[in-house]
Structure 1
Amino acid sequence: MQLKYNSNYPSVEDLIKQAKRKIPRFAFEYLDGGCNEDVNLIKNTAEIRDIELKPYYLSKHTKSEMKTELFGHTYDAPFGISPVGLQGLMWPNAPEILAKAAFEHNIPFILSTVTTASIERISEITQGHAWYQLYHPAETEVRDSIIKRAEAAQYPVLVVLCDVPTFGFRPRDIRNGLAMPPRMTLRNIMQILGRPEWAIKTLMHGQPAFETLKPYMPKDLNMAQLGQFMNRTFSGRVNEERIAPIRDIWKGKLVLKGVASNEDVEMAIRLGFDGVIVSNHGGRQLDAGQSAISSMHPIVEKYKDQIKIMMDSGIRSGVDVARTLACGADFSFLGRTFMYSVAALGKEGGSHAISMLKIQLQQVMEQVCCERVQDFPNHRIK
């Protein structure tokens, strides 16, 4: 498809500025912030950008092709949209906007268990081409029900989340009383009044809710009861015993997201997973941890030919995608960039961000004379 993007917002920095102007502060800070003092949030992007690429200007370069085969499907670019919780809080209808854009551009969209669109609705939009991220339920019956729904909706890939054994300590969200729906303090009400377009569209689309989880929730929960339900229903702590049965249940491709060590990758291979996503949850869980790119280096070195290795966390631009691939990733995912774009540009935000990233990545490939994305490691300066 023809790539079109809004030339007023040619970079993620432009989108961040516009998003901050368009959505309430509590929503922007939920999107933009990390945990504790944001140390790992900052390291994620900074350490990716330490990666340098070598051009070969006099090579017999003909063309650069960014199409990438992954799990039997050829995508138009080597990046996809990461799962993000509470998307409809940041911009009404956000997951639907992004899923539609991903389908039209032929890249993967991963639906989070705790976002604001249902398994069935996103499958309808993407004609069964989205991936589903499972936030592991405490009860086996709920887990099996969600997996069966994803299977019935023809999701080809199930992504099991493993890096949230406990909720991250996020000072901004605590101050803002962020919940679902957000606590309506006077400060939050004033923020909403200052963002009339967000407020009107939220009224039009209705209060955002955990759509996938509605069949398992008692009706008419207040905020306190909703919090109790979430704590009771979900346990982020997984181990080999808890996730091994998923391989028997799920017949599609299976991915473990949130790995940060060789030991976790070793277990994923042993259990028959098809891929891993190296990630630190965008710097939102462990401030004292490594950046995602630093965690990925030894994993690629040891397991490159044994399992598909993907990465998210800290990737903001097409140039960052190139750097990540140069470090040996088979594929990459971005979360915040897409959410900034939707918050800034509404229904045009999904297509804008994908087009921007494709154009940026294509320019890097042409500049360094890289013909295929698989060749990026040959251009890395170590």
Structure 2
Amino acid sequence: MTNDFLFDARYPSVDDLRKRAQKRIPKFAFEYLDGGCNEDVNLKKNTTEIREIELIPNYLKKHQPPSLQTELFGHIYDAPFGVAPVGLQGLMWPNSPEILAKAALQHNLPFILSTVSTSSIERIGEITEGKAWFQLYHPAKNELRDDIIKRAATSGYDVLVILCDVPTFGYRPRDIRNGLAMPPKMSMQNIMQILKKPRWAMETLKYGQPRFKTLEPYMPKNLDLKQLGKFMNDTFSGKLDEDRIAAIRDMWKGKLVLKGVASLADAEMAHKLGLDGIIVSNHGGRQLDAGESSIKPLIRIAEKYRDQMTIMMDSGLRSGPDIARCMAAGAQFTFMGRSFMYGAAALGAKGGNHTMTMLKKQLQQVLEQICCEKITDLPKYLKIE
């Protein structure tokens, strides 16, 4: 199967996929995927400020055809990007975690499963042949934390991602209006929206109502929506500190990554505690509207810690040029969440393969255009003010 076969020329950009996705899924599900927090200030800054970064081509330099291959934690991936963890994926498009995990395996890219996604640790481990990463929302009880981590290790996951940027749930007006805050509720308005999207409804009937499948072993049976909200609030504290991270570091034998780093202070703590890498992120603009976009702290953190631990980034990337910009600014790898979810919602089972093929094509063109042979050389092409 060739890359051209996987690529649907009707949707050559993430924006095209977004528009198609909006037409195919209920409004409440699309707004959960698409929106940020408060007034969406940081959501908009994320992409806008990435695109302020400029690259300088070197046209007369002798060069070989470029390669997208990138080494990360001892594994050579086919490109320097992967699928970021996304909660409630099956709400936005049924079976989307499995769609994206299968595509990631085929394209030799990392897929990160969220604790609150709609596929289980075991199922994604099976699909990806143990090559997926797992993101842990920190449980309130150590016994639950230890059991979830043990399940990830047993399922073959080599990289554990711990999340530090959700000490509290973001204030998201759309989700509140749509009944997707905790506790969630299904309104007549939501039901009417579902009736207008028959393909989404049929796929949901096929794969079942979205559930937190990783967490089901710990849930009381037959929870209603109000009880589910209480369970989630009681089960997860969301807050990480030095002691909690140190306990996980002692327990986890694989690579350990801290996601949600947005300051030099937190990067310094991650390094002090012996973490293997960090993902600079502001949770896609969904947590702190008054904060910085992700690219700003990335530049500062990469300058100081690039040679001491692996520096990665998510939030705001929507294209191959965006990936190149972030890599030039100091990231050693990148992740995207919404971009792949738009693809799955727009094209169903073909959406993961299409989006990954498209991003590879876009990034390859950037490297060819600036005459850059290797991903690791991109910082040499950064325009310095």
Q: Same fold (TM over 0.5)?
A: yes
- Please name the residue that 2:113 is paired with: 111
- Please name the residue that 2:268 is paired with: 266
**Partner Cα distance (1:180, 1:121) in 2:** 26
Instruction: Say whether the 8 Å CA contact 2:185–2:226 is kept in structure 1.
Output: no
Q: Find the residue that maps to 2:162 and give its secondary structure.
A: strand
**Partner Cα distance (1:200, 1:181) in 2:** 26
Query: What is the aligned counterpart of 1:81 among 64, 80, 83?
Result: 83
**Partner Cα distance (1:76, 1:123) in 2:** 20
Q: Identity across aligned pairs (percent)?
A: 68
| 2:219 maps to 1:217 | yes
- Please name the residue that 1:166 is paired with: 168
- Please name the residue that 2:74 is paired with: 72
Alpha-carbon spacing, 1:248–1:95, altered in 2? closer, same or farther (3 Å): same
How far has the Cα of 1:181 moved from its partner? 9.6
RMSD: 1.0
- Count of residue correspondences: 382
Any unmatched runs of 5+ in structure 1?
Answer: none
**Partner Cα distance (2:67, 2:223) in 1:** 51
Instruction: Say whether the 8 Å CA contact 1:133–1:159 is kept in structure 2.
Output: yes
Query: What is the aligned counterpart of 2:342 among 334, 340, 343?
Result: 340
TM-score under structure 1 length normalisation: 0.99
The 5 Å alignment of 1:126-165 reads 126-165=128-167
**Partner Cα distance (2:259, 2:295) in 1:** 14
- Please name the residue that 1:43 is paired with: 45
- Please name the residue that 1:100 is paired with: 102
**Partner Cα distance (1:11, 1:232) in 2:** 41
Instruction: Between 296-305 and 277-286, report the one with greater CA deviation.
Output: 296-305
- CA offsets, 1:106-152, max 9 Å, x none? 00000000000000000000000000000000000000000000000
| 2:285 maps to 1:290 | no
Instruction: Say whether the 8 Å CA contact 1:131–1:159 is kept in structure 2.
Output: yes
- Please name the residue that 1:374 is paired with: 376
Q: Find the residue that maps to 1:211 and give its secondary structure.
A: coil
Q: Which ranges of 4 or more aligned residues in structure 1 deviate by more than 4 Å?
A: 179-182
**Partner Cα distance (2:139, 2:208) in 1:** 26
- Please name the residue that 2:2 is paired with: 2
- Please name the residue that 1:307 is paired with: 309
Instruction: Say whether the 8 Å CA contact 1:123–1:130 is kept in structure 2.
Output: yes
How far has the Cα of 1:2 moved from its partner? 2.6
- Please name the residue that 1:202 is paired with: 204
**Partner Cα distance (1:307, 1:224) in 2:** 42
**Partner Cα distance (1:33, 1:179) in 2:** 13
How far has the Cα of 1:180 moved from its partner? 8.5
Instruction: Say whether the 8 Å CA contact 1:181–1:207 is kept in structure 2.
Output: no
- Please name the residue that 1:28 is paired with: 30
Instruction: Say whether the 8 Å CA contact 1:134–1:159 is kept in structure 2.
Output: yes
Any unmatched runs of 5+ in structure 2?
Answer: none
Query: Which amino acid in structure 2 is aligned with residue 155 of structure 1?
Result: Y
Instruction: Say whether the 8 Å CA contact 2:183–2:229 is kept in structure 1.
Output: no
How far has the Cα of 1:302 moved from its partner? 0.7
Q: Find the residue that maps to 1:255 and give its secondary structure.
A: strand
Query: Which amino acid in structure 2 is aligned with residue 236 of structure 1?
Result: G
Q: Find the residue that maps to 1:381 and give its secondary structure.
A: coil
Query: What is the aligned counterpart of 1:319 among 312, 318, 321?
Result: 321
- Please name the residue that 2:124 is paired with: 122
**Partner Cα distance (1:329, 1:246) in 2:** 25
**Partner Cα distance (1:21, 1:97) in 2:** 19
Alpha-carbon spacing, 1:193–1:180, altered in 2? closer, same or farther (3 Å): farther
- CA offsets, 1:249-279, max 9 Å, x none? 0000000000011111111111110000000
Alpha-carbon spacing, 1:355–1:181, altered in 2? closer, same or farther (3 Å): farther
Q: Find the residue that maps to 2:335 and give its secondary structure.
A: strand
Instruction: Say whether the 8 Å CA contact 1:111–1:131 is kept in structure 2.
Output: yes
Instruction: Say whether the 8 Å CA contact 1:15–1:341 is kept in structure 2.
Output: yes
- CA offsets, 1:158-177, max 9 Å, x none? 00000000000000000000
Q: Find the residue that maps to 2:268 and give its secondary structure.
A: helix
**Partner Cα distance (1:11, 1:140) in 2:** 43
Q: Find the residue that maps to 1:121 and give its secondary structure.
A: helix
Q: Find the residue that maps to 2:103 and give its secondary structure.
A: helix
- Please name the residue that 1:228 is paired with: 230
How far has the Cα of 1:237 moved from its partner? 1.0
Instruction: Say whether the 8 Å CA contact 1:181–1:208 is kept in structure 2.
Output: no
How far has the Cα of 1:179 moved from its partner? 5.5
Instruction: Say whether the 8 Å CA contact 1:128–1:155 is kept in structure 2.
Output: yes
**Partner Cα distance (1:62, 1:75) in 2:** 20
Instruction: Say whether the 8 Å CA contact 1:342–1:350 is kept in structure 2.
Output: yes
Q: Find the residue that maps to 1:120 and give its secondary structure.
A: helix
Query: What is the aligned counterpart of 2:259 among 254, 257, 260?
Result: 257
- Please name the residue that 1:241 is paired with: 243
